[in-house]
Amino acid sequence: MKSKRTKCSVRPWASRWLALTLLSGALDHAVRAAEFYVAIDGRDTWSGLHPTPTADRTDGPFASLERARDAVRALERMGAEPVPVTVHVGAGRYELRAPFELAEPDSGSARAPVVYRAAGGAPVVLSGGRQIYGFQKLAEAQVLERLPAEARGHVYVADLPGQGFSDYGEVTTAGRRLELFFAEQPMTLARWPNQGFIKILEVTGGDPMTVHGLRGDRIGKFTCAEDRLGRWVGEPEGWLHGYWFWDWSDAYQRIQTIDPDRRLFELAEPYHGYGYRNGQRFYALNLLSELDQPGEWYLDRQTGGLYFWPPQPIDSASVVLSLLPTAVTMKDVAWVRLEGFTFEATRGTAIRLDGGEHGEIRGCRIRNTGGWGVTVNGGRGHGVVSCDLEQTAEGGISLQGGDRRTLTPCGHFALNNRIGQFGRVYRTYRPAVGVGGVGVRVAHNLLADGPHNAIQLGGNDHLIEFNEIHHVCYETGDVGAFYMGRDWTARGTVIRHNYFHDIRGPGLHGAMAVYLDDSASGITIYGNLFVRSGRSAFIGGGRDNLVENNLFIDCEPAVHVDARGLGWMKYHVEGDGTLPQRLAEMPYREHPWNAKYPQLVGILDDQPGAPKGNRVVRNLRVGGRWLDLEKAAAPFVEFTDNLVEQDPGLMDVAAGDYRLREGSPAHKLGFQPIPFERIGLYRDAWRRRLP
């Protein structure tokens, strides 16, 4: 991977810039830095050397990021080292006509990075959407008749084809889902019920099955107890969204037919992969007949009519439809930073980094995306720092990189980010931070308000530290705020000095704080604070895990250890089960694996289903329950110096002061103080205030 921008001849429009900068560097015949400017009132025919137009308007800033990129790309190297370049982007809202693409020729170097920076002051918004105008109060009688009575007189309509809008995307497909935003908030595709779910009364598909004692059906055909279905007959593209069999797997399913007399749904194929069962939750959406409250909308894909009941006067804020799949792509780029921007209204992920090295997203706000906020795939040393991500339809930040076969770390990082209201549309397995590969650091982030996992992890040797995680898992079950599972080889991760609190899941089996599911092994859980966080340190049959020096407050229980690999999960452990297969994919008997993870070398000959090597050491417990320990697991787990029946002498539990008093019995056990003051967000150049 090259880390210098490509040398090329200087284009005529750059000659003026070179003359000016050569004057500034005349003493040493070297250019110290270069700066370009972009502004709402700029022109791509200008030089881009001025922040505002000149008095005679013959020169000034560029109008587009693409023009600035091309200017950076055209710079000829002057001397042995390239010069740092900064592109200053002036205040305003820029509707991108295509994703802004950066490639290897746009790279900088360690000593001369390329920075695209939002100019100080007012926000600089890079939007993947288009603003919609021309809303009129709905007067068409035929449409009014389809609306609920309470909506008549409140709904407006805009003609999209008349505004040149023809790409309507899709209703539910990630990356293609069309969305409406008003006053910078996502609006709701008309649905019922307006909040929460209704339940399957009886599955009637005719292809029954039983999984872990739960009966269901593979075919999407079922009844409900509601009498509202008659009004949905004739809707051209009605959908259902629900948790169809498990409370950790949601899916959108298209309605094929409705029998209102029998209160019966028949869904279009493909059916949900896990099937359907009685009592599970769902709601209906994309129904004009259910546009019945402020904030709801509906698009007639035949006519292009956009129907909307605004939550405040229609002319009081902008109405935006998502259009572009992404806002920025960076492929094989080195030493490029994006700083201070607001990204919004993409149908998919806002920013994508693939390959390259040392790219950074700093101090940005990423909101209202139809996919993730930022995804990093491959490369090394990429980071997301001091950003705010909110209302992402999928997850927040995904960091994947490194080489597992050689255990080579990627060095990616997510630092000091605030991520909330993630998983807004696609509810499960879209975490605030997704981690994979080798050697990712996730630190000092605030992760909150998500329906499922906050951190989902795979791979090796990651560091999860100093994060605050709360009010996640609130809509799902059998779920963990931190989650990984079913892989003996995904070892070496350390989870330390994090604050997990107020975590609960209403679905089957509830929520865990740190969930080492289905024989996840070789993980260290050290020095964390768990407060009202369900089953907090959960070892689901795995091996060689360490739970040490943690403080548990009002958890139910603090620690759980089971032996599922000797019981119901035995088929995943033996023969050609999932765990042996994943073991065989890694060179676990070769260097560096055999040196770093010697426990794996003989695992297949050492009761592989047994939860061997787990240690629970020097933990404190106040309130709640201490332990759930399956009888079959007990012989394999070491418990040492845990202070769980005696008051450990905390300062003031009721006031949230969890420091140890002088003379606490925990000191005699060697318990190390948890650095509470370092947990969570910190102030820096981009995060001036803390929430």
List, for residues 143-152, the tens digit of each pLDDT value.
999 999 999 9
Residue 684 has pLDDT above 70, yes or no: yes
Identify the pLDDT of residue 122.
87
Percent residues over pLDDT 70 in the chain: 95
| DSSP state at residue 11 | P
If one counts every other C-beta atom within 10 angstroms of the C-beta of residue 262, the result is: 10
Residue 313 has pLDDT above 70, yes or no: yes
Identify the pLDDT of residue 458.
98
Q: How confident is the model at residue 120 (pLDDT cuts 50, 70, 90)?
A: confident
Query: 450 forms bridges with which residues in the sheet?
Result: 472
Residue 348 has pLDDT above 80, yes or no: yes
Distance CA 585, CA 510 (A): 32
Residue 349 has pLDDT above 60, yes or no: yes
Which residues does 305 contact at the CB level (< 8 Å), separation at least 6?
A: 143, 157, 158, 159, 160, 299
Token pair belonging to 201: 């009364």
Identify the pLDDT of residue 76.
59
What pLDDT, in 10s, does the model give residues 33-78? 899 999 999 999 999 999 999 999 999 999 999 999 999 999 854 4
Mean pLDDT (the chain) is 94
Strands (DSSP E) contained in 527-589 are 529-531, 535-540, 546-548, 551-553, 559-562
CB-based contact 217:203 (threshold 8 Å) = yes
Identify the pLDDT of residue 155.
98
| Of 380 and 76, more confident | 380
Q: How confident is the model at residue 3 (pLDDT cuts 50, 70, 90)?
A: very low
Residue 26 has pLDDT above 70, yes or no: no
Distance CA 255, CA 264 (A): 11
Mean pLDDT of 339-346: 98
Beta-sheet pairing, 650-652 with 365-369: unpaired
Exposure string over 556-571, b if 16+ CB within 10 A, otherwise e: bbbbbbbbbbbeebee
Residue 626 has pLDDT above 60, yes or no: yes
Beta-sheet pairing, 305-308 with 296-300: antiparallel
Token pair belonging to 691: 């929430």
Distance CA 186, CA 131 (A): 14
Residue 14 has pLDDT above 60, yes or no: no
What pLDDT, in 10s, does the model give residues 464-476? 999 999 999 999 9
Dihedral over Cα of 22, 27, 29, 31: its sign: negative
Residue 250: closest CA among 177, 178, 350, 172: 172
Distance CA 96, CA 531 (A): 44
| Of 314 and 28, more confident | 314
Identify the pLDDT of residue 30.
45
Q: Which backbone phi and psi does 279 adopt, to 5 degrees?
A: 85, -5
Q: Residue ranges of the domains in the chain?
A: 129-190+291-320, 198-285, 473-679
Which residues does 384 contact at the CB level (< 8 Å), separation at least 6?
A: 360, 361, 374, 376, 397, 399, 413, 414, 415, 417
